[in-house]
Amino acid sequence: MREKALELWEKGAISTEHMMNTHGYSLEVEREKREQEKSDGTDEVMLPREIGNTTYVQNKAGRPQVDDSERTSDPEAALRGKEPKPSNPEGSMDEV
């Protein structure tokens, strides 16, 4: 039941309050606790630890967006890189 509630919540089908109640939490109590943690700095102190070469970055994924004026690579090269490679008329080097 709890996994299904979490799945429905992730899809936006049920409210956060309903999902939390299913897991035995009160939305109001947890909200007050989170607001207190934010105001006293606890949320910054309790960030996940760095593990190996990974770091915690909130709401950021992938390569940062770069404006076209800041590009250092040729935009045409990116298009050519996606084209299929020409075939070898003499066949593969692996063939015997």
Amino acid identity of residue 40, one-letter, is D
> What's residue 82's pLDDT?
57
Per-residue pLDDT at 52: 62
* CB distance 11 to 18 below 8 Å: no
What pTM was computed for the model? Answer: 0.45
SS3 60: coil
- Under 8 Å between Cβ of 8 and 20: no
Write out residues in the chain with pLDDT < 50, as ranges.
96
State residue 67's pLDDT score. 77
